[in-house]
Amino acid sequence: MAKQSAEQFAEASAEVLSKSSEAADKAARDTAAALTENGNASRAAIQELTRAYQELATKNVNKLTAAMRALATVKSPAEFIDTQQRLIKEGVETAVSDSQRIAQLSTAVFTAAFEPTKKQAEIGRQ
């Protein structure tokens, strides 16, 4: 009877170890897949941010050129001061708007980029 119990115990232990090994293997594969997906999403996020910064730089160069032309056409010191104040005001408003847009874009793309890892972590806690 003790021999049978030992054999049953060995079989049960082997089954538990086998299931544990399978579960660990699945968890490792799922984690690797989530990290790969996370890496791909991060790369896409960085590319999207790079495009946004390039567009912003191009827009700023065009605005600077337009501002220099506007200042070059003034005919009096009073007109120069008025033009300069207008350009400064527009520049500050644009900088604030652009900063907000870049911040929102950064938050959105990196939140999306880390979503696969977040989902995998939530699954792991269940």
User: How would you classify residue 13: left for phi > 0, otherwise alpha for psi between -120 and 50, otherwise beta?
Assistant: alpha
pLDDT band for position 2 (cuts 50, 70, 90) = low
Domain count, the chain: 1
DSSP state, 126? -
For the cut 70, the answer to whether the pLDDT of residue 70 exceeds it is yes
DSSP state, 76? S
Output the CA–CA distances (angstroms, integers) from residue 36 to 24, 27, 57, 91, 117, in the order listed.
Answer: 18, 14, 32, 41, 9
Q: What is the pTM of this model?
A: 0.63
* Exposed/middle/buried for residue 96 (C-beta within 10 Å: 0-12, 13-18, 19+): exposed
Range of the domain at 78: 2-125
The H or E element containing residue 47 is helix 2-72
pLDDT confidence of residue 3: 58
pLDDT confidence of residue 72: 93
pLDDT confidence of residue 58: 95
pLDDT confidence of residue 126: 64
Q: Which range, 8-22, 24-38, 79-93, is most confident? A: 79-93
pLDDT confidence of residue 73: 94
pLDDT confidence of residue 18: 79
